[in-house]
Structure 1
């Protein structure tokens, strides 16, 4: 009989969509390499180098023979302990080192978590716009994403009423992200507490991605749902990492924090997938989380300046509505007003088509809202140099203002 599905690869893998953000970044870099002056707003990574003291720690670690060997799958004991200390310092949430699993970046933490929690058919409430990887990781684990839509009218925040309307007897997990990628939305502390209390009332797990915890601006306050809703007990999984706080996206060190039984199960999975994270990268992460937050403070000052600039410049473009984000380093403007309009003779009916037009006609790379579950929007990262940012938005403005 052979394979009856018609695919040379499994149905499970065939169903995965390529990461749209990485695809946009790759296309922009390819055009740049070919000599096109492309400005990329696609990838979510700081444009700063990793701080020198972190790099120095890695160099020292590379010379130590103990780091040339396998190490415990859940992470170097000193790093697990430091992450527990950092979590108490930054979130007021007390955990033991044994509740920490060091992963190959935040993405592996996401995958491990859903693979460990979900049985086939279990439902996860996912608030849209969502980061592109979440639904794929949920589907790979056999789960089903139940999407709750938000838009710019509420600042991309979901209400308890919306969540209540999405819950079913199959719901096992609420995925909660604040500050948000792609919108930059930050939930106010009272709303975080209310959502946590609601989830506890339904006996749900809460998986909270806190990778952007230190990137908040203005009067916004960021609290961990694990701290804000103590009634959740141990049914909270915290996902985090060094990538955004310390400009370490390429070092690939993240972690998940949760109850010991879940961490043990996720560690068993990781033991067959990747084993330990690179010891050199772990020692770099140890220097990062053990040190102070001055590196992120400097970056945040620059991001805040760029945030205000990009919102102002986009808001001046007819047909674009750009809410002011309170966290992370993204804006998520509505471009519904540009759909159906002719730009350089090209009419886009979707935001995906519009993103292609902007790339090919203005040589600016942006990610369409389709990647995040909400067509009609674009995501632009403002984690790029001030001059490039101003030039890139000016090119989009020119494309729109020169419209036929």
Structure 2
């Protein structure tokens, strides 16, 4: 489980940082480093032979210095000092073992030799630029049976987080669900959908991902288009969710009941899952099968019981039957179907049961209210 125990919530504004510094006079090496910065979604500053500003030490400092081996002789260990962990000595001669000695001499803690180290160096650049804050709290929502209302709850949770000022991304992992953009009234809003990321492998830049997606109700949404794409490879799901988590804040994932390989990959990136179960006997029987499958991949799965309750069944009893912690009981909202049909997003009525449930859920998750079930 890719958990995060921090109660700090990055705001929607986020925390910006400048690009890395490149210090080299080798044109070939400079071209390579510019290309790798572009792959990491970073806009570098190029210097010639010396550092024009501090590295990761003050508010206007660069988060990382990429020092060409051709300029190593211009630096001393005292010149970089304690900032050596934010400096990487970069060479392009795989047969030159002396680069490690020169890295020690100038105080650089990292060494990269191109082209072999291109992948790790892109990751290092992206990590430095995106920051090393707490990853996003990542919640998955899945229905205990068809039509349980999981997509409605996923949207409402994301909207509640966004209304509270948290950076929020809603990910539609159910290719046959009709599209969360439709549920949010944003099917015509510009931005990329899942087919654009189907070939993603390795690392996706978090900021570039966020900025490319449709913005609806102060959150970013990754949904499906109306085309023929009905699945994405697990590698694409892994890359996209990892990028979303690195941005911090909140990520809500709407999961299908029939778990394809991409959905199974998504389960591995969740901090916890919410299983939406209507309070009726057949729904509990169906939910047992979902628990048996999801529970193999997700260590923290909790029940959300959707009322009204049938005779002899309440939230605590249903959670006991499913052998799950109870995340809460959700009372029916009489005007919700009409509101959705009129184009209002789920949870838009902040006095309704759905909005109240979501607000209280996030309060528990951030430690401001009653402790969440364990």
| TM-score bracket for the superposition, by shorter chain length | under 0.3
* Larger CA Rg, structure 1 vs 2: 2
Question: Normalising by structure 2, what TM-score?
Answer: 0.27
Question: Normalising by structure 1, what TM-score?
Answer: 0.25
Higher helix fraction (1 or 2): 1
